[in-house]
Amino acid sequence: MRAAKKVISKANLRYNLDVLSSLAPQSKCVAVVKANAYGSEAEKVFEALSDADLLAVAEIGEAIKIRQAGAKKTILLLEGVFEASELEIAINENFEPVVATFQQLQWLLDLVPSFSRVWFKLDTGMGRLGFQAEDADKAMQQLLTRYHQGNVVIMTHFSDADNPNREKTRQQIACFDEFAAKYPHCEQSLCGSAGILAYPEAHRDYIRPGIALYGASPFKGNYGEDHDLKSVMTLKTAVLSVKSFKKGDPIGYGEAYRLQNDGTIAICEIGYADGYSRFIPNGTPIRINGNEYKVAGRVAMDMIAVLVDNKVKPGDEVICWGERLPIERVCEYAQTIPHQLLTTVTERPRKVIEDD
């Protein structure tokens, strides 16, 4: 059997939730499990998030799967509903909608039963979903014809909380506060992972951690472990073959790599069809048997080549990222963020869920 596998640590997920909740002890916690828990198998790991107050997903289909898998918690729909009929399902299943457009607001007002809580999204400068300052009062007034402030959470999302220049986030917080001051009985929620770690003044009633739950840092230039987080997903495989080559020999597609000296190449059982991205370039770090080596040449669909030494043998364990190889390091080479590599691991690697 091919060795490629995605190993998920529920214990580390539970641990990270605990770390993040302790950073915001006054806040309730919405654990974000969209995109299949950032690739970490939402339906199999939600139990590790039992200390969270709510779960959150991007759309109702994700929420239904998690509910069918046995999750009892309230599930927040971060983008709200995409059609009116989803509201009835939502109310029956104890999902709570975000209201971010006038269309969604109208659907909500047309629905006869009421939700016990709805989330009102303010666009404070993300430039994506939510009511902009000039429309927000009108929208809120309409919402308050049916809902009490005490049943409404005002939320926003930061565009730059991971940026060392703090000006933009400060402006977003100020914009939020100016609006929210008019609705003093509404609860408040501003922070995803970066906000939780960098803006304690914005923790408020609910924090919404995503990437940090899975052990990766939301900031460029440091790692999850710098924030006492542990990686949840380890992408692993094994060495399939080991061969010696001469200086100048080409390796892989396009002869994109040539050995600079006589050397040894290990072919490993993982490729872009597993989610080890083709954007991961020559020279990216990878671990074999506890030692670090470098990817050689282009990632292929099912295999990669790694420049190794004579210690490496067929069958040896290969760690692409995760345990003892922070995914952030791979991201530096692939010029992407952990969110993207984690969520694009495909169905092909075997899934191993480690119980806590």
Ligand X SMILES: *Cc1c(COP(=O)(O)O)cnc(C)c1O
* Nearer to ligand X (CB atom), residue 191 or residue 296: 191
Any contact of residue 192 with ligand X (CB under 6 A)? yes
Q: Which residue from 8, 31, 32, 268 is in contact with ligand X, where contact means CB under 6 A?
A: 32
Could you say which residues in the range 249-308 bind ligand X, by CB under 6 A? none
Any contact of residue 224 with ligand X (CB under 6 A)? no
Candidates 189-197, 238-246, 303-311, 340-348: pick the segment binding ligand X (CB under 6 A): 189-197
Candidates 142-150, 164-172, 210-218, 246-254: pick the segment binding ligand X (CB under 6 A): 210-218
Any contact of residue 218 with ligand X (CB under 6 A)? yes
Residue 139 exposure: Cα atoms within 13 Å on the Cβ side: 26
Any contact of residue 322 with ligand X (CB under 6 A)? no
Candidates 167-175, 187-195, 225-233, 328-336: pick the segment binding ligand X (CB under 6 A): 187-195
| Separation CA 29–CA 45 (nearest Å) | 17
| Separation CA 350–CA 338 (nearest Å) | 20
Residue corresponding to tokens 């969270």? 52
Any contact of residue 14 with ligand X (CB under 6 A)? no
Any contact of residue 338 with ligand X (CB under 6 A)? no
Dihedral pair phi/psi, residue 317, rounded to 5°:
-75, 135
Q: Which residue from 39, 97, 130, 209 is in contact with ligand X, where contact means CB under 6 A?
A: 209
| Least distance CB 14 / ligand X (angstroms) | 17
| Cα 291 to the center of its chain, rounded Å | 28
Q: Count of CB atoms within 10 A of residue 281's CB?
A: 16
Any contact of residue 125 with ligand X (CB under 6 A)? no
Catalytic residue among 28, 168, 253, 333: 253
| Least distance CB 206 / ligand X (angstroms) | 10
Any contact of residue 154 with ligand X (CB under 6 A)? no
> Does 272 participate in catalysis according to the annotation?
no
Task: Tell me the C-alpha to C-alpha distance, in Å, between residue 352 and each of 10, 111, 117, 232, 239.
Answer: 11, 42, 36, 12, 19
Q: Where are the beta strands (DSSP E) in the chain?
A: 5-9, 28-32, 54-57, 75-77, 95-99, 118-123, 131-132, 152-155, 187-189, 206-207, 233-245, 250-251, 257-258, 263-268, 285-288, 291-295, 304-308, 317-321, 350-354
Any contact of residue 80 with ligand X (CB under 6 A)? no
Q: Which residue from 10, 14, 157, 203 is in contact with ligand X, where contact means CB under 6 A?
A: 157
Size of the site for ligand X (CB under 6 A): 13
| Separation CA 109–CA 106 (nearest Å) | 5
Q: Count of CB atoms within 10 A of residue 160's CB?
A: 16
| Least distance CB 34 / ligand X (angstroms) | 6
> Does 253 participate in catalysis according to the annotation?
yes
Question: What tokens were used for 28?
Answer: 């309730």
Q: Count of CB atoms within 10 A of residue 138's CB?
A: 12
Q: Which residues bind ligand X (CB under 6 A)?
A: 32, 34, 78, 157, 192-194, 208-212, 218
The residues that are catalytic are 34, 253
